[in-house]
Amino acid sequence: MSQVLFDYTRQDATGASCTAHAWAKVPEPLTPDQRQSWKERAKALLAKHQAVLVAHYYVDGDLQDLALESGGCVADSLEMARFGRDHAAKTLVVAGVRFMGESAKILSPDKRVLMPDLDATCSLDLGCPADDFARFCDAHPDRKVVVYANTSAAVKARADWMVTSSCALAIVKHLKDQGEKILWAPDRHLGRYIQQQTHADMLMWNGACIVHDEFKGLELDLLKSQHPGAMVLVHPESPESVVKQADVVGSTSQLLNAVVQGNAPAYIVATDNGILHRMRQLAPGKTLIEAPTAGNSATCKSCAHCPWMAMNALQGVVSCLESGTGEIHVEEPIRSQALGCIERMLDFVKRNPTATQKPGLVPNIGAA
C-alpha cells in the first residue's frame, strides 16, 4: 500500500522559481589559466589548513579533479559521509549540497565543516519542512520513519533510519522482513521504485528532485531506437516511465560501475550530467549519451544539471578556506538525534556489505 499525503510546489516563499536564485549564483566559466591558478591556490590552502575536499559526482569536473589530486574523494552521498567521518583531517570541505555538509558535521562534530556556498540546497530538502514532516510522523506513530539522505538535519532527527539510494532497497526490505510498516520521505519516485521492488507497506511524502523529475520516457524510447544495443542507466529518482526502460537502476556509484564494467556499444545515462566527468575518466573511450529531459520542440535536449550543485566552484573552495565562511553548524540536540538514524544505516551497510551492490557489479569504485 502506498499513499501520497503531502505535496509541495517548486516555488519559494516569494513565489519565484526556487532555482532562479541558484542559477544566478553559478559562477561564469573560467579560462584555462584562471582554472589552473584557482586550483593551485585551493591546493595550497587545503594543505595549510589540514583540510580535505569531499566532492560529489555532480559537481564541476575541476572540483572533482582537485579532490582526487589533493587526497580527498569523489563519491556518492553514502561514501562522502563515510570518508569524511574516517579521515584524519581537522577541516572537511564539502563540495555538494547543504544536507551533505550537515551529514558530515553530524558524524564529525569536532571537525570544522566548510562549504563553498551555503546556499547550495536541494529540492527534496526544500520540499520537506521539518515542522510539517513532524506532523506527518505524529499522525502515523505505528510506522518506522525512513528518510532519504537528501533531507535537513531536523528531518533526520525525527527519523528512525536514513538511507541513500545505494542502500535504500536493502534497508526497506530488511524492515519489511521484520514486519514493519514504513513512512517514507521525501522522494516520491525513489519511494515508488522501492515499494514496487520490495512490496513493503509505505506511506509516501510527495517530494521530487527537480533534475531527475525532468527525464522523459517517450523521448528516451525514441533515443533508444536511434542507439540499438545501448545500455540504459537510470537513477531511481527518475519518473516511472524512465525507470521502466532501464537496464540498470542504481545510485551514482552503481551507475558508474555499470559503465566501467559493461561491454555495451553505448550508455544512455539518466542522472545529473556532472557524473559524465568521472565516467569518462574511469571508462575512457566509451560512448556516453545524456538521457533526454525535453521533447522535440525544446532547444535543450538534456538540461540535466542541478543548479545547486553547479554553485560549487574552485573560487568557493578558496574563499571558504581563506575567510572561514560557509561553516556548517548543527545545533544540539538536533545533531545527536540525527546521528542515530545515520549511524543505523552505516552499521547496517557494514554488517551487510552486499547491501550497496547491484548484481554483478563492484561497489564503490568511485570513492577514490
- Pick from 154, 183, 309, 355: which binds ligand SF4 (CB under 6 A)? 309
**CB count in 10 Å sphere of residue 287:** 12
Binding mask 133-162 for ligand SF4 (x = CB under 6 A): -----------------x------------
Rounded Cα–Cα distance for residues 327 and 90 (Å) = 13
Q: How far is the CB of 100 from ligand SF4 (least distance, A)?
A: 8
Q: How far is the CB of 274 from ligand SF4 (least distance, A)?
A: 9
Who contacts 85 (Cβ-Cβ below 8 Å, separation ≥6)? 104, 107, 108
Which of these segments, 154-162, 262-270, 280-288, 301-309, binds ligand SF4 (CB under 6 A)? Answer: 301-309
232 CB-side CA count, 13 A: 24
Looking at the Cβ atoms of 124 and 320, the one nearer to ligand SF4 is 124
Partners of 249 in the beta sheet? 234
Amino acid making up residue 233: L
Q: How far is the CB of 160 from ligand SF4 (least distance, A)?
A: 22
Binding mask 248-287 for ligand SF4 (x = CB under 6 A): ------------------------x---------------
Partners of 95 in the beta sheet? 55
- Please give the C-alpha separations between residue 119 and each of 32, 93, 148, 158, 259, in angstroms, as whole numbers: 27, 15, 20, 23, 32
Return the residues of window 47-86 that contact ligand SF4 according to CB under 6 A. 58
Q: How far is the CB of 62 from ligand SF4 (least distance, A)?
A: 19
Rounded Cα–Cα distance for residues 112 and 220 (Å) = 43
Q: How far is the CB of 272 from ligand SF4 (least distance, A)?
A: 5
Q: Does 290 bind ligand SF4 (CB under 6 A)?
A: no
- Pick from 308, 313, 356, 358: which binds ligand SF4 (CB under 6 A)? 308
Rounded Cα–Cα distance for residues 320 and 118 (Å) = 10
Q: How far is the CB of 126 from ligand SF4 (least distance, A)?
A: 9
Q: How far apart are the first and last CA of the chain?
A: 40
Q: Is 164 within 8 Å of 345 (Cβ atoms)?
A: yes
Which of these segments, 172-180, 209-217, 248-256, 338-346, binds ligand SF4 (CB under 6 A)? Answer: 209-217
Rounded Cα–Cα distance for residues 63 and 310 (Å) = 11
- Pick from 73, 200, 276, 306: which binds ligand SF4 (CB under 6 A)? 306
Looking at the Cβ atoms of 159 and 310, the one nearer to ligand SF4 is 310
Q: How far is the CB of 46 from ligand SF4 (least distance, A)?
A: 23
Q: How big is the site for ligand SF4, counted in residues (CB under 6 A)?
A: 13
Handedness of CA 275, 308, 205, 83 (dihedral sign): positive
Looking at the Cβ atoms of 67 and 211, the one nearer to ligand SF4 is 211
Which of these segments, 40-48, 171-179, 189-197, 306-314, binds ligand SF4 (CB under 6 A)? Answer: 306-314
Q: How far is the CB of 80 from ligand SF4 (least distance, A)?
A: 12
Looking at the Cβ atoms of 147 and 309, the one nearer to ligand SF4 is 309
- Pick from 211, 268, 270, 276: which binds ligand SF4 (CB under 6 A)? 211
Amino acid making up residue 95: A
Return the residues of window 95-134 that contact ligand SF4 according to CB under 6 A. 97, 122-124
- Pick from 159, 210, 270, 338: which binds ligand SF4 (CB under 6 A)? 210
Looking at the Cβ atoms of 10 and 48, the one nearer to ligand SF4 is 10
**Strand 248-249 vs strand 91-95: parallel, antiparallel, or unpaired?**
unpaired
Q: Is 52 within 8 Å of 341 (Cβ atoms)?
A: no
- Mind giving me the DSSP string for 37-71? HHHHHHHHHHHHTTEEEEEETTS-HHHHHHHHHTT
Plot region of 364 (φ>0 → left; ψ -120 to 50 → alpha; else → beta): left
Looking at the Cβ atoms of 49 and 212, the one nearer to ligand SF4 is 212
- Please give the C-alpha separations between residue 299 and each of 163, 214, 224, in angstroms, as whole numbers: 36, 14, 20
Which parts of this chain interact with ligand SF4 (CB under 6 A)?
A: 58, 97, 122-124, 150, 209-211, 272, 306, 308-309
